[in-house]
Structure 1
Amino acid sequence: MIDVKKLWTKRRNAHLTQMLKYFSLMANSGLIVSLILLIVIGSIYYAKLLQALPNDFPAVFILTIIFSIWLTKSPIRTLLKEGDLVFLLPVESRMKQYFSMAISSSIAAGAFSTLFIFTLLWPIVQVFIHDGWKMYVIFSFFLIAAKIFNLFVSWEERRLPYKSHQMNYRIMRFIVNFVYAYLLFNEAYLFLIAIFAIMYVLKNFVFGFFKKQHGYQWEMLLAEEQALKIKGYRLVNYFTDVPALKQTVHRRPLLNRLAVFSFKKNNAFSALYMKTFIRSGDYLGLYVRLILLGFLFIYLIPPGWWQLAVVFLFFQMFSLQLFTLYTQYRWNVSFMIYPINDTVKAKAFENWLKGLLIIQGLVYGVFYWILTGDWIVAILMPVAALVYSLVRLPAMSKKHIPMTS
């Protein structure tokens, strides 16, 4: 007989062990240092940005939108596996305790995440709404309470057999969360009591009705768990290689023309890496997001020579995350039987990465020149990318590629 309590405990411990292992690999990566430096720089100019905002800045509306979306988005990790559709389905009547523990775990994670997000946005609340530690506690309490409500009702919402029906109730929850957050940040506490009453009715009489009419939608729960797992793997894959990550291939016919195939040994793998970068996983999206994030830092930080240090950090971040692309073919038989020396493969990868870094430097330079008109620092940005590619990148290649190839 299956002990569902022990089953959940075993799976939770295995999940935590795996995440701790990946976190240790992430902590050993130089990318963590780059992120810390960017956070320090960002925190310095965060305060300056707040001071530069006008007095009529719509802080209440922006905070309401942010938390309406965050509260409505309520994922629940069930840690289900594909075999559960066979082995756990017969004991569905005894799975209540298993899913109750899954909901409790998600509530703890959701409460912590809500508090973390609110803490990041607390300076905005201090400047435009209300200051004081008492208000911090009050706002945190009401937001966490709303997050717990959304997790409970979203679980019952998952019993509905059709995605369209679930979406309708999700829209209804968004409207309730929007009104709730708007009243909260306007400090209309008397009206919040009415919203609490509406939440109580929704939880016990509307969503509670689903429990009596519908069982667990196992296929949907499994699909959601797989999607959440893939998202976690993609995040970790930015720092280190994740063998369990299944890459998604996109067509992108227009961009795919950039990677013209050549039968020459020196060019074959350059085309392969470019095709992988364009079509596989989220590498192209990562490249674009880092460039846009670099634009934001260049815009926020005052013009000067120190901007070169900022772009160096973004070169470092991009390089470290792209080394996982080289390891994507580690277990591919075709990759191993190609009659091409491993040194040629590594050199092709390094040259291809140099090209992307120089393009990144050129884009930063053009943006900086348009923003400030300082052509000297603007020219030095692609020069910095070239220097990084010639000095730093070969050392990183020796460190990462032999360890993972």
Structure 2
Amino acid sequence: MTKLWQQRLQRQQRLMLRYLRLVFNEFFMIAVFILLGGAAYSYAGYIKTLTAPLWWSRPLVLILLLVLLTVGHFATLLQAADSLFLLPQESALKGYLKQAFSHSVPLPWVLLSFVCGFLVPFLEIGGGRSLISIGVLWLSVLILKLGQLWGQVVQLYLPTTQFRSQQVTFYGLSLLSLGLGLYSWPALGFVFSILTASISRWRLQQVQQQHLFQWQLALNQEASRMLQIYRFFNLFTDVPQLQGQIKRRRYLQPLLRWTTGRTTNPFLYLNWRGFLRGTEYSGLYLRLLVIGAIVLLFLQQVWLALVIALVFSYLIGFQLLPFYRSYWDYPQQRLYPQPASRRQQAFLKFLTPLFVGIWLVFSLAAYQLWLAPFGWVIILGVGVFNVAFLKLYVPNWLKRHEN
């Protein structure tokens, strides 16, 4: 079991590193660093405006920490064939799950530590808490996360109804622990967090002795966990493990007729039909567009907003380019071949309305900066960038990949 776990962990780490390299190569991290820098700058400016404790600061932090306890899932790395081939070794599964638990802890702890560090000045000024009490609260959160992960392992043994009652107990005790840490005695809250996690650990030992491991539930949860990871990477690069779905979407038929019109170029119709009915590229376009618009809504610096808008415009355009190869192997092309120039012309006409949509959404999302000094730079800059991308970069990319 130990060797099997190590092999699967190494295989998953290689896969994640591969996608991380692809994300780095596509400049996503540049946008992340700029976004984090802008958020930190705005947050620091907001903290300077606080002069007295706020009544709503502690309830807000309490709700935030409870929500963050649900972030991070237990990674079993189980596969569909395991329910057959590992079933005779179910008695040795406890050691396997113990290794899986050790692997599942560090990432949620890093995330929770980052958030708690981010909340330190807000709790110190807006919440009226000392650094020592905030440090004890941070330790309580980490201990509670251990209990929450042990609860996820318990779920793999218990029926749904019994597990739900245990979850209610866990989050009730977590609410009490965090409430004590925020409102009165942090040390007492820390003791309650240890008690809460200990109850989850004790309950796990009980269910492993009294119940059988639910293989199908574990396989479904692992598949769901990996799907969430793949969907995140799919925002910025192509993920073969995600298969796009085809949906008819009759309500988009008028848009298809409007965009294709009476064109005699079959590739323009194919591009729009595939984009509107498929989920891979249309979903990618909409997700990045919404994320970029949300980021722009909260930025107060003109030049930072311009950089973010340009980076997201590039990411959206760069991710749409592989769609050009979708119909290279279309059977009708061999019966009625079309010159490459018509295919390239159709793809440019297909991209133009999409980039107009990017320009409109990002310009409207930055409405709060229109009246600021140089606020017009955002509208002009995104427009010029999109035109240059369509007129200069895309034609060269198409010719290079056509050859």
TMscore range, shorter length: 0.7 to 0.9
The counterpart of 1:211, out of the listed 208, 233, 247, is 208
Secondary structure of residue in 2 paired with 1:242: coil
* Residues 71-80 or 243-252, more deviating: 243-252
Contact 1:350-1:393 within 8 A present in 2 as well? yes
Q: Does 1:390 align with 2:391?
A: no
Partner of 2:225: 228
Displacement of 1:54: 7.5
Q: Distance in 1 between matches of 2:150 and 2:331?
A: 48
Q: Unpaired runs of 5+ in structure 1? A: none
CA gap of 1:319–1:89, structure 2 versus 1, over 3 A, is: same
- Rounded Cα–Cα distance in structure 2 between residues aligned with 1:106 and 1:256: 46
Between 268-277 and 228-237, report the one with greater CA deviation.
268-277
Pick aligned residue for 2:180 from 158, 178, 183: 183
Query: In the alignment, what sits opposite 2:120?
Result: 122
Q: Deviations over 1:219-238 (max 9, x none)?
A: 11111111111211122222
How many angstroms does 1:149 deviate by?
Answer: 1.5
Match of 1:197 among 195, 198, 201: 195
Counterpart residue type for residue 60 of structure 1: R
Instruction: Tell me, in whole angstroms, the C-alpha distance in 2 between the residues paired with 1:75 and 1:276.
Output: 32
The CA deviation string for residues 352-380 of structure 1, in whole angstroms up to 9 with x for no partner, is 333223223223434544x3663996766
Query: Matched residue of 2:145: which SS?
Result: helix
The whole-number CA distance in structure 2 between the counterparts of 1:335 and 1:179 is 66
Counterpart position of 1:354? 352
Distance, in Å, in 2 between the alignment partners of 1:320 and 1:73 is 30
Residue aligning to 1:22: 19
Report how far residue 97 of structure 1 moved: 1.1
What is the aligned counterpart of 1:37 among 34, 37, 41? 34
Structure 1 residues 194 and 311: CA distance shift in structure 2, 3 A: closer
Q: Shift of the alpha carbon at 1:151?
A: 0.9
Query: In the comparison of the two structures, how many residue pairs are matched?
Result: 395
The separation in 2 between residues aligned to 1:330 and 1:356, in whole angstroms, is: 19
8 Å contact 2:230–2:239 — kept in the other structure?
A: yes
- The aligned amino acid for 2:275 is M
TM-score, reference length from structure 2: 0.82
**Aligned ranges 1:284-323 → 2 under 5 Å:** 285-297=286-298, 300-302=299-301, 304=302, 307-323=305-321
The verdict on how the C-alpha distance between 1:294 and 1:113 changes in structure 2, with shifts beyond 3 A counting, is: closer
Alpha-carbon distance, 1:159 to partner: 1.3
Q: 1:52 to 1:189 in 2, by over 3 A?
A: closer
Alpha-carbon distance, 1:138 to partner: 2.6
Q: Does 1:82 align with 2:83?
A: no
Change (3 A) 1:135 1:249: farther
- 2:4 corresponds in structure 1 to 7
Contact kept in structure 1, 2:120 and 2:131, CA below 8 Å:
no
Comparing 280-289 with 144-153, greater Cα deviation is found at 280-289
- How far, CA to CA, are the matches of 2:313 and 2:305 in structure 1? 13
Cα deviation code 1:277-306 (max 9, x no counterpart): 667673254145224324423xx314x576
Q: 2:69 aligns with which of 62, 71, 80?
A: 71
Instruction: Note the alpha carbon deviations across 1:248-276, whole angstroms, 9 max, x for none.
Output: 45565434642348573252233135315
On the 8 A contact 1:22/1:236 being kept in 2, the answer is yes
2 CA distance for matches of 1:395 and 1:132? Answer: 57
CA distance in 1, matches of 2:40, 2:6: 39
Q: CA RMSD in A?
A: 3.5
Distance apart, 1:139 and its partner CA: 2.9
Name the CA shift for 1:375/1:59 in 2 (closer, same or farther; >3 Å).
closer
Please name the residue that 2:142 is paired with: 144
Instruction: Provide the residue aligned with 1:267 in structure 2.
Output: 268
Q: Distance in 2 between matches of 1:331 and 1:53?
A: 59
Quick check: 1:255–1:278 contact (8 Å CA) kept in 2? no
Taking only the aligned residue pairs, the percentage that are identical comes to 20
CA contact (8 A) 2:177 2:192 kept: no
Q: How does 1:358-369 map to 2 (within 5 A)?
A: 358-369=356-367
Letter in 2 for 1:314: F
Deviations 1:8-36 (A, max 9, x none): 00110111111112212222222322222
- In structure 2, the CA distance between the partners of 1:326 and 1:61, relative to structure 1 (3 Å rule), is farther
Which residue among 58, 61, 85 is the counterpart of 2:59? 61
What aligned pairs does 1:101-120 form with structure 2 within 5 A after superposition? Answer: 101-120=99-118
CA contact (8 A) 1:160 1:210 kept: yes
Pick aligned residue for 1:239 from 218, 236, 241? 236
Q: In the alignment, is the contact (CA less than 8 A) between 1:77 and 1:225 conserved in 2?
A: yes
Secondary structure, aligned partner of 2:69: helix
Contact 1:295/1:364 (<8 A) preserved: yes
> In structure 2, what residue type is equivalent to 1:66?
L
**In 2, distance between residues paired with 1:359 and 1:376?**
25
